[in-house]
Chain A
Amino acid sequence: MLVRRTKIEPDQLITFQVNDQFITARSGESVAFAVLAAGVMPTRNNPVSGSPRAPYCLMGICFECLMTIDGVDNRQSCMTPVAEGMVVHSQYNKASLERLDDD
């Protein structure tokens, strides 16, 4: 889990949705960082056993940070920059076609 050293400057403030809450982020940072700073855990369940997982390497290697971002399942949240109004979900299940239709 992460915490911010400094407050986000107002001109860099971005708000987006993770699961049922709205969280803030600094413009330019990747989703995984904002999610970890907001204390959202787990960010996914392993599709084999359902065990809880969260970002591990933050550099695009481990693929533990996969989340549903703007309706698309299994996106690497450590490689995806935040955007105002983005909708992010922890990926608790396997990817599903129906969920794609809903969003």
Chain B
Amino acid sequence: MTIDNADIAIVGAGPAGMAAAIEAKSSKVVVLDDQAMPGGQIWRSVEDVAARNDLHIFGKDYYRGLRFVQQFRASGIQYRQRARVIGIEDWDTGSGSDLIYLHDGKVKRLSAKRLIIATGSYERPTPFPGWTLPGVMSAGAAQIALKTTNMVPKRPFILAGQGPLFLLLASQLKAAEVPPDVILQLDDPKRIKQALLHLPAALTGTQDLLKGLFWRLKITRGIKTSVGNVINIEAHGEKQLERISWKTQNGAVGECSASTLLIHDGVVPNTQLLRAMRAPIWYDNKEAAWRPSLASIAGQMSDRPWIYAAGDVSGIGGWRAAIAMGALAGASANYTLGNGSITNSEEMRSLGRGKAIRPFLNALYPPARAFHKPANSTIICRCEEISAGEIRKAVREGAQGPNQMKAFLRCGMGPCQGRMCADKTVELITESNGAAINEVLPMRVRMPISPVTLGEMTTLDKK
């Protein structure tokens, strides 16, 4: 058989992946992305949105994405859409690796000398009572629905959460003339003191800071009910969401009927593919998330420099930082293959500006109190329906890490492969045994990182 080769393979066509591809285009670059269009989640469906004249809903940063996607399309880079990477091989042979991916109903292999992992982030899972009920969705889901197919949440709907994406979505839904009926703010107003310590640094990224401040000031405008300092939230219903209730720090309680509840508690790096290649990842207490251990500003992995991580997957930084990191990774990968040159100064400045606000945001929005120490009856692993109480009990029986926990309870063994429960499981283990999170090893993941049918698996040409 003929082997499908690339000089540089890039996983993900979001800001980082596209920037890397554009920067490295003098090499043979192949970009694999599991969505139908380039843009990642931040610029999801931007070409479609432009075509239906809805760009104004999403703001200037989204518009910027359209130009970037057009530049990516025009660059002549091999871009494979709806190509889902399910595994990786030869990540430790010294140079070059193979991506195994599903495309057009077939499992295929792509061999590349350099790999750039730009798989972005996803929303931090938010276990609370009732979160598995139909009608409860992540806030990102509503944003995707609005972008990809011009749909909005069914009323009455509640937006609950904290952080930049929460504020952004509130402003976008208002721009789309469907303001939430109720907004529940899950952030702790007292955190502003700690956050202000990071304000001087954040001022380097004035743009982002002003934008956020603007969203924050306007959040309650036009909203019938807005409740701050919420520390507890529950969804109720028989077969689907009917009602939600909440409690605030000062003891006030409230409830309302609901068709849709959108929930958001920040984003975390999507490290699934990194875990599948046993890349070193560590728990960053400041970001409250696992991220890869990188050896250079270009995003080279510490123990396998031909593999790069760029953009949010390497640590949350937002799209501006992602473009800079992608460009740095692309330029470095290209240069190490004897192509192009490295003149990083512009990207470095841009990366600095892009990341400037992060310490401020991390201090202002640590994981929400509403999802801390979930009650014993709260479901943690949605696929296998494992509760917080079962996990705590298994810790006492000897499951002292997420991998033993899998063996004990099947926690993380369902189709989502631990994406929704792995990190919370680790948190619960440390809560029960007093260890620091970094003393507990992260949940391991293996190929296939997404389901693939037996029939599809048989289509792989043997190497």
Binding site for B on A (CB under 8 A): 1-6, 26, 28-30, 33, 36-37, 39, 41-43, 46, 48-49, 51-64, 66, 72, 74, 79, 81
Please measure, in the bound complex, the distance between the C-alpha atom of A63 and the C-alpha atom of B154, giving whole angstroms.
Answer: 22
CB of B234 closer than 8 Å to a CB of A = no
Interface size class of B (residues with CB under 8 A): 35 or more
Please measure, in the bound complex, the distance between the C-alpha atom of A20 and the C-alpha atom of B145, giving whole angstroms.
Answer: 24
Name the distance in Å between A9's Cβ and chain B's nearest Cβ: 9
Q: Is the CB of B134 within 8 A of A52?
A: yes
Known: A41-B240, A52-B240. A62 touches B149 (CB 8 A): no
Tell me which of B148, B150, B384 contacts A4 (CB under 8 A).
B150
Known: A52-B134, A58-B141. A5 touches B153 (CB 8 A): no
CB of B25 closer than 8 Å to a CB of A = no
Q: Is the CB of B133 within 8 A of A52?
A: yes
Please measure, in the bound complex, the distance between the C-alpha atom of A41 and the C-alpha atom of B260, giving whole angstroms.
Answer: 12
CB of B60 closer than 8 Å to a CB of A = no
Select the residue from A2, A53, A63, A79 with max chain B CB neighbours within 10 A. A2
Known: A49-B385, A63-B415, A81-B36. A54 touches B420 (CB 8 A): no
Q: Which of B91-146 contact A (CB under 8 A)?
A: 122-123, 132-138, 140-142, 144-146
Known: A2-B154, A5-B176, A61-B122. A54 touches B135 (CB 8 A): yes
Q: Is the CB of B385 within 8 A of A74?
A: no
Known: A54-B240, A66-B415. A29 touches B149 (CB 8 A): yes
Tell me which of B134, B152, B414 contacts A42 (CB under 8 A).
B134
Q: List 17 A-B contacts (CB under 8 A).
A: A2-B142, A2-B152, A5-B150, A5-B178, A33-B149, A48-B385, A53-B132, A56-B382, A58-B144, A60-B84, A61-B122, A61-B419, A61-B420, A74-B451, A79-B34, A79-B84, A81-B36
Known: A28-B36, A59-B41. A54 touches B134 (CB 8 A): yes
Name the distance in Å between A64's Cβ and chain B's nearest Cβ: 7
Q: Is the CB of A1 within 8 A of B152?
A: no
Tell me which of A2, A33, A63 contacts B383 (CB under 8 A).
A63
Please measure, in the bound complex, the distance between the C-alpha atom of A60 and the C-alpha atom of B450, giving whole angstroms.
Answer: 9
User: Of all chain B residues, which has the CB nearest A4?
Assistant: B151
Name the distance in Å between B230's Cβ and chain A's nearest Cβ: 21
Interface bits B268-307 vs A (CB < 8 Å: 1, else 0): 0010000000000000000000000000000000000000
Name the distance in Å between A39's Cβ and chain B's nearest Cβ: 8
User: Of all chain A residues, which has the CB nearest B419?
Assistant: A61
Q: Is the CB of A3 within 8 A of B135?
A: no
Q: What residues on A are CB-neighbors of B420 within 8 Å?
A: 61-62
User: Of all chain A residues, which has the CB nearest B136?
Assistant: A56
Q: What residues on A are CB-neighbors of B150 within 8 Å?
A: 4-6, 26
User: Of all chain A residues, which has the CB nearest B237?
Assistant: A52
Q: Is the CB of B140 within 8 A of A3?
A: no
Given contacts A2-B153, A57-B122, A79-B84, 5 further A-B contacts (CB under 8 A): A48-B383, A53-B382, A58-B145, A62-B138, A62-B416
User: Of all chain B residues, which has the CB nearest A40?
Assistant: B134
Select the residue from A1, A29, A49, A54 with max chain B CB neighbours within 10 A. A1
Name the distance in Å between B453's Cβ and chain A's nearest Cβ: 8
Q: What residues on B are CB-neighbors of A55 within 8 Å?
A: 137, 141
